Amino acid sequence: MESTVVLKAGPQEYYHSKGILNQLPQLISERKINRLFVIHGERSLQAAMPYLPSLENFEIQYEKYRGECSLNEIKRISAIAKQYKAEGLLGIGGGKVADLVKAVAYQLQIPEILVPTLASNCAAFSAVSIIYNDEGIHVDSLSFPKATNLVLIEPEIILNSPVEYTIAGIGDTLAKWYEGVSRLNQIQTKTIPMQLSFEMMHKCREFLFEFGEQSIKDAQTGKLTEAFINVIDTNIAVAGLVGGFGSIFAKSVGAHAFFNAATAIPGTKTILHGSLVAFGILVQLALEKKIDELESILPFYRKIGLPTTLQDIHLDDSNTEALQLIAAKMTSQTSRIHSLPFKVTADDALWAILTVNRITSSYSY
């Protein structure tokens, strides 16, 4: 296996503290940006507005994205920003907004500033954009030569977001360990960057098991605590460092293969990315025949509200057609599930999905 690691460790600058957005005007000016183009979701802009300082010294145009980071949306936003002669981008929102902004910034070769309003993934930190079609079905990913220029995290914005997104972020971040270790264990001689990536994978799991449950309790009561702040940094920064150090050797495997396939089923549309990935972790563990490990993390899933059964993700073991479609897509020729150190067929994937549901449906918590 090729052992060349391309390091894109993370954003050029990453700030996480209360009141950090008060520094936004200065940080924009430092980047020689006068004409600022703001890309946002409707709810995300509303969530951020109370924390945004006056930007009256800059020319600003706002554009609401249409809900997906698709090639069509990248093209549409890029054209508008280019016509406006934008000198820099400000992205306010969750993972899809972050991915969209990174792609547009690359197209126009201008700096981007990201203000995450959710801690549901590491999109703000990574040099990758996940691409969907306009219907929300996963189709591809784009990798960029460098990560984001600037990330600014106001923790109170994330604290005020629906707690389900932070829970989903925990699920997505846990996958860094379960997927990453399956890849790196196949490499006999690991380079130093690979070893750093491995450490970050382990820290993702360690920090989430240490702070995850308390962080969700704190979020549910509106308390900005050390546990909650630690989970924000784990979901965004530590998770991002896994790929930043590990490059292609830290890419997703079985858990995200399940997510990618499940997006083709209409019933899963309302299930968050990280929640589907969390179920995918269980499916991957079943494929690896690690049933004891699968069962060992179920209490944690239950405590913080991650899905454990098909019913939890709006599927049903009696819907054979839907599950067979997921299994087929999970094992398509280009699927990353084939990075596992053994052959996986559609029948294997279907067996694993049903096995997880059988175990979790009868598990005594």
Residues within the annotated binding site? Answer: 95-99, 117-120, 126, 132, 172, 256, 273
Annotated binding-site ranges for glycerol: 172, 256, 273
Amino acid, res. 43: R
- Given a contact cutoff of 8 angstroms between Cβ atoms, the answer to whether 111 and 89 are in contact is yes
- Given a contact cutoff of 8 angstroms between Cβ atoms, the answer to whether 351 and 296 are in contact is no
| Sign of the dihedral defined by the CA atoms of residues 26, 27, 32, 34, in that order | negative
- Given a contact cutoff of 8 angstroms between Cβ atoms, the answer to whether 167 and 274 are in contact is yes
Tokens standing for residue 34: 């006068």
> How far apart, in whole angstroms, are the C-alpha atoms of residue 33 and residue 285?
48
> How far apart, in whole angstroms, are the C-alpha atoms of residue 221 and residue 243?
33
Q: How many CA atoms lie within 13 A of 222 on its CB side?
A: 1
DSSP string, 277-339: HHHHHHHHHHHTT-HHHHHHHHHHHHHHT---STGGGT--TT-HHHHHHHHHHHTSTT-GGGG
> How far apart, in whole angstroms, are the C-alpha atoms of residue 98 and residue 94?
6
Annotated binding-site ranges for NAD(+): 95-99, 117-120, 126, 132
